[in-house]
Amino acid sequence: MAPKSAVAGSDFTITLYDQDLDQNATFAEQAIVNVVSSRIVGSVYSVELTETAASSGVFTASMRSQDKATTALAEHAKVNVQEGDVLAVEYTDLSPVFRVARATARVETRSCGCSTITTDSESIAAGESLVVSVYDPDQNKQSETANNLEIVITNLDRPNQIYTMMQLRESAADSSVFTGMLQTRDNKIQPDTFVGTSD
């Protein structure tokens, strides 16, 4: 199970090695493992793994955690967790002898809660673009790759205007800095952009 520790919302990769499960050498097969949480005894999630290739005997799947207090049934391919939980993957190997394999991962406390948002200019003319940057270590959920972050943009001078969602991209793996370009338009009636001549 990897990584061995991550914040809630991260993906965990489960990998199982068992050549006995390769019953058919012509196509990739499936295997089932159980994921249990340390928070409440009896909470069990079944996760289906897929063989990486025909006859490889290696089965894998990605499981996303979500920050929820409930241990009821989670969304498909997700597991409910909270900070401090220990997740364990369990697999019962029936051949050649009965044996339970177990791997664990810990859900860490979020790093700092110290997010900041900045722009490359305090004021712009209608029709110009604005670079938006967000620094948030808590959203750096996969340290080995650049993550995405979605923010909401609204126009304070037009409170009844529809908001827009903006997608930011982490500048580099493990940087915790997310940036994106907001394009504005000089238009009094503009449901999808947010700057007019006096906004």
Number of other CB atoms surrounding residue 169 within 10 Å? 13
Q: How far apart are CA 122 and CA 166, in angstroms?
A: 19
Region of 4 on the Ramachandran plot (φ > 0 left; ψ -120 to 50 alpha; else beta): alpha
CATH label of the domain that carries residue 25 = 2.60.40
Regarding whether 162 and 87 lie in a shared domain, the answer is no
Residue 39 has pLDDT above 80, yes or no: no
Regarding whether 122 and 92 lie in a shared domain, the answer is no
Q: How far apart are CA 181 and CA 158, in angstroms?
A: 21
Confidence at residue 41, expressed as pLDDT on a 0 to 100 scale: 66
Confidence at residue 15, expressed as pLDDT on a 0 to 100 scale: 94
Regarding whether 70 and 29 lie in a shared domain, the answer is yes
Higher pLDDT, 121 or 15: 15
Is residue 199, in this structure, part of any structural domain at all? Answer: no
Mean pLDDT of the chain: 80
CB 184, CB 155: distance < 8 Å: no
Is residue 196, in this structure, part of any structural domain at all? Answer: no
Which of 108, 130, 145 finishes a domain?
108
Confidence at residue 153, expressed as pLDDT on a 0 to 100 scale: 84
Regarding whether 61 and 92 lie in a shared domain, the answer is yes
- Read off the tokens for 194: 């947010």
Regarding whether 15 and 99 lie in a shared domain, the answer is yes
Q: How far apart are CA 28 and CA 198, in angstroms?
A: 61
Which burial class, exposed, middle or buried, applies to 70 when counting CB atoms under 10 A from its CB (0-12, 13-18, 19+)? exposed
Is residue 192, in this structure, part of any structural domain at all? Answer: no
Higher pLDDT, 173 or 75: 173
Q: Which amino acid is at 182?
A: L
Regarding whether 87 and 33 lie in a shared domain, the answer is yes
Higher pLDDT, 154 or 59: 59
Regarding whether 103 and 9 lie in a shared domain, the answer is yes
Confidence at residue 67, expressed as pLDDT on a 0 to 100 scale: 74
Regarding whether 88 and 50 lie in a shared domain, the answer is yes
Structural domain boundaries, residue 91:
5-108
